[in-house]
Chain A
């Protein structure tokens, strides 16, 4: 692994019973880069995201985060990372300020002011319960919480799912752009190909359990002369996942 690699995935396979979801997938994500992982529904993107953060043990292979095995050293390594799942994972009965307080206890470098400012910006009152928020509000709240720890690595699992067009544009233009400028490494999965095209440095496409493509976005566009959406469509139109 080079010093520049924040995430290194080595021959990662994930199998659920007889269902092989990921087969020998290897990825390197350099520090400060934005890596977009694309794939059709059920391609194994979320499984890969969970493996990246030590939330799930791979069937085989390794995931190194900041140079260390993330399954073995999860609690220490994820203190330098943040995760935004597809659906907000905060308990619904808790109020926003309880969830913020929980996060504050978890991270020594918690930026309370920044979190409150972001929540105010997206119109989330801290006295509201998580279950009373709209899907979009919950997603933005979760993102605000993720950024509150000033992570070196941000893992986003389809973060724009359920956001309206304005919020989605804000998300990509503001947050991701800001993070990129701060040197935060970002790995995200998304179906919003147009949104990701402008910010991703590198793109990977999962197809049939394998990583069918892993290339820099600019180089890809120059070499193929196609939009990301066209490339994605060409690659993922083939046969589905192997079993």
Chain B
């Protein structure tokens, strides 16, 4: 103990003279900053003070070696552990005194300063320890290498040193790139991995310094080598951990699925349904891996898709486009290796190929690569034939083909004609029909139906209408009719418009569908009829109603539903059978026959996909999917069969 205190006293005598006045001055900063109208938090100034104390103490420790004074300690009967403990004791003592001096100065200078407030936080300890460890490591490293590097020369070193340095930099960036990718894609809502990463380097630098001091003693070359050895071993270990974590966390198998959060379209045979999941990896919120679910076989395969770019499926669900989830920092390299784009197409046959990209699309080259919203490709719609694609990117609508390359490129959504895509489809003829929202200079909103000929890019406006407070716009399977919903505002009765686009542009007919409901939703069902639901606007308790209309919009049937206030219309699970889901008091789905108006079945605990969230093809395998409150995904194989659990996978 006597020797430890003797060492601590040395640092105290050398540093207290400078640090205590610095702390006294720092204590004045909060009140001075208040005076000039730029208030600075007391805690923040204290962080800076602790950084100063840590850096000064660590720096002196290292500098003692730089100036040849290490023999002062090692030539005396002073165990190395006493030397290190003594320096650490000095650090704590100086930090304590600096804190007291700071608080005293702050208390005297400010009327608001409060001695009773427990101002010290975890960040102050971090600041002190990290500044000390980094300062010790750096000063020791400089001290050890300064003389050594002067003594080196020669052709061999001229070649070896740059090569070694370059290899180290490349290795570090590879590791850091993987780590950053892991954090961005799996831990965006948790600082834990970043904290662990930083602490591991701080601890490694302390260990490296202590090892270098204990086994290098006064020999600079040995100190430098030991520091490098420890940091090198740490680097290798960190790289292994990061690579393993990157592989494990970002590449989950279907057994890792805990919940299903959403599902999209599936092919007609139900073999390729896209489901977004929560897995037991990462922070539980950031990674939303997408799996391709084979509903028939009950198998799932992860789609290596970037969650910000797709996936997008053709109307029949057979063709899927997505962007490969490649490490952000290596994406340009990946792109070059993988065929000029990270976008992939999976055709009905299961074959995967690069997406034929617009000739002028830059793909991933900008800083937006790192942004939440990914690159410059905004949206892709594959045609059911699996060959053509409509690609919306940076105010262009480009049509490409796997067999014919780029077909046409049309300026779309520029400042002179700002478009917001509402819905679109490839018609059976191969033409492309899109509904777009517009806002003119005066702020008036309108809805336009536009046809675009993919081969030439020729654009033809079919119909334009005023559309305030616009809701969903839906096409039927051919694009001949559209349902335009408005009124998604509490307290306002909505309206639904049927637009008949089957004729020439001059012959477009619109029909306002009857019924005054709040929050209306409408959809086409398999046989061409229309179903509308909403909360009754006539009288309390505003229960959810369901109305069936003929294909031309005439009321056929009004069906009372036992759903209460919180019900909504789900998918058409079987031909003519629509799911209505209630959320309160308990979740349950009711299957309603839209021909007879009868309730066929009630399924407690499960909900259908809300028509507001998506529109699975009527009667498709995806439409028969149900979800429990805790995120389990079920399939209803038939009207009579019990729901079959699909995800999470059950152990077999």
**Would B217 and A54 count as touching, CB distance under 8 A?**
yes
Interface-centre pick from B2, B69, B77 (highest chain A CB count, 10 A): B77
The interface residues of chain B lying within 8 Å CB-to-CB of A57 are: 215, 217, 219, 222
Stretch among A78-86, A159-167, A218-226 lining the B interface: A78-86
Which residue in B14, B69, B74 is a CB contact (below 8 Å) of A74?
A: B74
- In angstroms, Cα B5 to Cα A103, docked, is 12
**Would A89 and B72 count as touching, CB distance under 8 A?**
yes
**Would A105 and B5 count as touching, CB distance under 8 A?**
yes
Which residue in A17, A85, A93, A106 is a CB contact (below 8 Å) of B76?
A: A106
- In angstroms, Cα B70 to Cα A7, docked, is 23
Annotate B1-41 by CB proximity to A: 1 below 8 A, 0 otherwise. 01101110110011000000000000000000000000000
Does B64 belong to the interface (CB within 8 Å)? yes
**Would A56 and B218 count as touching, CB distance under 8 A?**
yes
**Would A75 and B79 count as touching, CB distance under 8 A?**
yes
Does A191 belong to the interface (CB within 8 Å)? no
Does A91 belong to the interface (CB within 8 Å)? yes
Does B614 belong to the interface (CB within 8 Å)? no
The interface residues of chain B lying within 8 Å CB-to-CB of A87 are: 68
Does A175 belong to the interface (CB within 8 Å)? no
Does A168 belong to the interface (CB within 8 Å)? no
**Would B79 and A98 count as touching, CB distance under 8 A?**
no
- In angstroms, Cα B72 to Cα A103, docked, is 10
- In angstroms, Cα B428 to Cα A88, docked, is 94
Chain A 153-212 residues near chain B, CB threshold 8 A: none
Which residue in B6, B64, B218 is a CB contact (below 8 Å) of A55?
A: B218
- In angstroms, Cα B67 to Cα A138, docked, is 15
Quick one: given A17-B221, A57-B217, A93-B14, are A105 and B2 in contact (CB under 8 Å)? yes
Quick one: given A54-B217, A103-B76, are A91 and B14 in contact (CB under 8 Å)? yes
- Summed over the interface, the residue pairs from A and B with CB atoms below 8 Å come to a total of 84
Does A76 belong to the interface (CB within 8 Å)? yes
The interface residues of chain A lying within 8 Å CB-to-CB of B114 are: none
Does A128 belong to the interface (CB within 8 Å)? no
**Would A75 and B78 count as touching, CB distance under 8 A?**
yes
Which residue in B3, B7, B68, B78 is a CB contact (below 8 Å) of A89?
A: B68
Which residue in A17, A56, A98 is a CB contact (below 8 Å) of B217?
A: A56
**Would B69 and A78 count as touching, CB distance under 8 A?**
no
**Would B75 and A55 count as touching, CB distance under 8 A?**
yes
**Would A106 and B3 count as touching, CB distance under 8 A?**
yes
Annotate A51-63 by CB proximity to B: 1 below 8 A, 0 otherwise. 0011111000000
**Would A90 and B6 count as touching, CB distance under 8 A?**
no
- In angstroms, Cα B13 to Cα A94, docked, is 7
- In angstroms, Cα B2 to Cα A89, docked, is 21
**Would B13 and A98 count as touching, CB distance under 8 A?**
yes
Which residue in A50, A85, A106 is a CB contact (below 8 Å) of B77?
A: A106
**Would A85 and B71 count as touching, CB distance under 8 A?**
yes
Number of interface residues of B (CB under 8 A): 30
Chain A 58-75 residues near chain B, CB threshold 8 A: 74-75
- In angstroms, Cα B72 to Cα A17, docked, is 25
The interface residues of chain A lying within 8 Å CB-to-CB of B13 are: 93-95, 98
**Would B76 and A16 count as touching, CB distance under 8 A?**
no
Interface-centre pick from B6, B64, B74, B78 (highest chain A CB count, 10 A): B74
Which residue in A50, A91, A102 is a CB contact (below 8 Å) of B6?
A: A102
- In angstroms, Cα B76 to Cα A74, docked, is 9
**Would B69 and A106 count as touching, CB distance under 8 A?**
no
**Would A79 and B77 count as touching, CB distance under 8 A?**
yes
- In angstroms, Cα B70 to Cα A87, docked, is 12
Min CB gap A14→B, angstroms: 9
- In angstroms, Cα B7 to Cα A87, docked, is 21
Min CB gap A7→B, angstroms: 15
**Would A50 and B218 count as touching, CB distance under 8 A?**
yes
Nearest-CB residue, chain B, relative to A107:
B77
**Would A94 and B10 count as touching, CB distance under 8 A?**
yes
- In angstroms, Cα B222 to Cα A92, docked, is 25
- In angstroms, Cα B147 to Cα A98, docked, is 29
Quick one: given A16-B221, A56-B219, A57-B219, are A91 and B72 in contact (CB under 8 Å)? yes
Min CB gap B223→A, angstroms: 11
**Would A91 and B77 count as touching, CB distance under 8 A?**
no
Annotate B365-400 by CB proximity to A: 1 below 8 A, 0 otherwise. 000000000000000000000000000000000000
Chain B 454-473 residues near chain A, CB threshold 8 A: none
Min CB gap B189→A, angstroms: 49
**Would A54 and B74 count as touching, CB distance under 8 A?**
yes
Nearest-CB residue, chain A, relative to B154:
A18
Does A101 belong to the interface (CB within 8 Å)? yes
Min CB gap B135→A, angstroms: 17
The interface residues of chain B lying within 8 Å CB-to-CB of A106 are: 3, 6, 76-78
- In angstroms, Cα B75 to Cα A54, docked, is 8
- In angstroms, Cα B71 to Cα A85, docked, is 8
The interface residues of chain B lying within 8 Å CB-to-CB of A93 are: 13-14
The interface residues of chain B lying within 8 Å CB-to-CB of A55 are: 70-71, 74-75, 217-219
- In angstroms, Cα B9 to Cα A98, docked, is 9
Min CB gap A135→B, angstroms: 14
Interface-centre pick from A78, A90, A101, A102 (highest chain B CB count, 10 A): A102
The interface residues of chain A lying within 8 Å CB-to-CB of B79 are: 75
Nearest-CB residue, chain A, relative to B221:
A16
- In angstroms, Cα B79 to Cα A13, docked, is 25
**Would A50 and B219 count as touching, CB distance under 8 A?**
yes
**Would A90 and B72 count as touching, CB distance under 8 A?**
yes
Quick one: given A89-B71, A107-B77, are A98 and B10 in contact (CB under 8 Å)? yes
The interface residues of chain B lying within 8 Å CB-to-CB of A75 are: 77-80
The interface residues of chain B lying within 8 Å CB-to-CB of A92 are: 67
Quick one: given A105-B6, A107-B77, are A83 and B71 in contact (CB under 8 Å)? yes
- In angstroms, Cα B73 to Cα A53, docked, is 12
- In angstroms, Cα B67 to Cα A189, docked, is 22
- In angstroms, Cα B218 to Cα A235, docked, is 30
The interface residues of chain A lying within 8 Å CB-to-CB of B68 are: 85, 87, 89
Sorted nearest first, the 4 A-B pairs with minimum C-beta distance are A79-B77, A105-B6, A83-B75, A89-B72
14 pairs, A vs B, C-beta closer than 8 Å:
A50-B219, A55-B219, A56-B222, A57-B217, A57-B222, A74-B74, A87-B68, A89-B69, A94-B13, A102-B10, A105-B5, A105-B6, A106-B3, A106-B77
Q: Residues of B with Cβ closer than 8 Å to A?
A: 2-3, 5-7, 9-10, 13-14, 64, 67-72, 74-80, 152, 215, 217-219, 221-222
Q: Residues of A with Cβ closer than 8 Å to B?
A: 16-17, 50, 53-57, 74-76, 78-79, 82-83, 85, 87, 89-95, 98, 101-103, 105-107
Having A53-B74, A89-B70, one finds 8 other A-B pairs with CB under 8 Å, namely A17-B152, A55-B219, A56-B218, A85-B71, A89-B72, A90-B69, A94-B10, A98-B13
